[in-house]
Amino acid sequence: MRTVIRRVGIAVGLVAAMAISACGGGGGEGGGAADEITVWTADTLPDRVAATQAIIDRFTQQTGIRVKLVGVEEDQFNQTLTASAAAGDLPDVVGSVPLSAVNTLAANDLTNSDANQAVIDALGANTWNQSALTLTREGDRQLSVPSEAWSQLLYYRRDLFQAAGLPAPTTYDAILNAARTLDTPERAGFVGATAPGDAFTEQTFEHIALANGCEMVNEAGEITIDSPQCVGAFEFYRQLIMDYSVPGTQDVDTVRAGYFAGQAAMAVWSTFLLDELAGLRDDAMPSCPECTADPRFLAENTGIVAALQGPAGTQPAQFGEVISWAITSEATAEPSQRFVQFMMSDGYVDWLAFAPEGKFPARSGSSPGATDFVDRWESLPIGVDRKAPMTEIYPQDVLAALQTGPDKFSRWAYPQGQGELMGASLGEQPVPAAVAAVTSGGTDAQGAAKQAADTLRTIQDGLR
């Protein structure tokens, strides 16, 4: 979460987007000077902005290149990008962007693939996770420089499962049975995202759907989200939400709040939840009855499942996101390349350090075969208002799940070369809309799948 996203931004109008655009300034016509670049970041939480600025200050001190840092909420990325491109005022570099945003840049010819490739070549392509490079490449074009990865997880109350004699919720049947068994008037069996127009809802459902062998598009480029496997995924999620969840629309904040309050036995969230779950962040503290006396109660009594499997799935699958830096088409290339290269080398561990629970390094080491970045990542403390190493809080099975790299992820569209479709669908969010419809009783699973497929086919036709 990050999702997402980790935090979902509140929509602002086009006027606000234009105001952010005016703060930009790439190296194209009318762009900035060669010793100054503008960098957008989707890591907009105040502590992350401060940590990023500290790394930038080191870069400027070493190189003399000044960097103007501008925060852009991830949910506003497309809108802000469109406004900036129309004004001829793109930034030089965008950072903390997921695959969908990278493909939006590429589809509109707004990324400098030669500059991105130059960074990777300078540092050594064989020092990267090769799956991360593949996911950020289209043909012979390197669309971005992959920086880190996070994964989606199913969190569950290990203490409640053990007391009820339930196995870990690794399959559709096990999840439904646990939700049914643990659902009470005071506690839901499960809580998950249902908000329309919300990337967190799509990430949650994609995680669920991949487990059942559901693909948005096949290798021939045909929309397949109305396949039997996808209909099965919609039906499973409908049952889970309508029969065993809490009332009302659920988003990134309410899902976390429900689980933290002890009002849900299971929840889907990203790895970014782990520092908050351990009571290390004051603005998102666990509030369950037991948490008053022991802020780490939930952390000590929570298990996680990374990969899930549905009845139509051939193997367990897990949603994960690769996050990147991308040098834009209007960038002043040389200082932009130096900046990204610094962020992936001298500044890399500090970059990972401000949220290691959600930043598994896409670059394993500083030389071929080395794992020094992964090794250092493992020892980084998590938390904001308080810090503690992950090894002090979580058992080995949790730590192992955190180390799931991009080579273990499943994703819709990107392996089939349909990243442009995913980027183009961000505006309409057809999958969250279908999820909202089926989980509110507005349609059945077949209708939800058809609704999503019809919208996606319309979007796809517009790209041809």
What pLDDT score does 33 carry?
52
Q: 288 burial class (0-12, 13-18, 19+ CB within 10 angstroms)?
A: middle
What pLDDT score does 34 carry?
65
What pLDDT score does 458 carry?
96
Domain span at residue 281 reads 151-318+417-462
Q: What is the pTM of this model?
A: 0.87
Residue 129 in domain:
yes
Q: CA torsion sign, 57 to 334 to 18 to 141? A: negative
DSSP characters over 130-183: HHHHHHTEETTEE--EEEEEEEEEEEEEHHHHHHHTPPP--BHHHHHHHHHHH-
Whether the per-residue pLDDT at 405 is higher than 90: the answer is no
CA distance 380 to 356: 7
At 132-152, the pLDDT tens digits run: 999 899 889 999 999 999 999
Q: Strands 145-157 and 266-270, how do they pair?
A: antiparallel
Q: Are 245 and 259 in contact (CB under 8 A)?
A: no
Residue 5 in domain:
no
Residue 397 in domain:
no
The number of distinct structural domains making up the chain is 2
Residue with tokens 């130096």: 338
Whether the per-residue pLDDT at 30 is higher than 80: the answer is no
Check whether residue 76 and residue 218 sit in a common domain.
no
Check whether residue 338 and residue 443 sit in a common domain.
no
Helix (H, G, I), strand (E, B) or coil at 30: coil
At 293-344, the pLDDT tens digits run: 999 999 999 999 999 999 999 999 999 999 999 999 999 999 999 999 999 9
The CATH number linked to 263 is 3.40.190.10
Which residues lie below 8 Å from residue 435, measured CB to CB, with a gap of 6+? 193, 194, 196, 201, 202, 205, 234, 237, 448
In this structure, the number of other CB atoms found within 10 A of the CB of residue 6 comes to 25
Check whether residue 62 and residue 206 sit in a common domain.
no
b/e for 251-281, b at 16 or more Cβ within 10 A? bbebbbbbbbbbbbbbbbbbbbbbbbbbbbb
At 68-97, the pLDDT tens digits run: 999 998 778 878 888 998 998 999 999 999
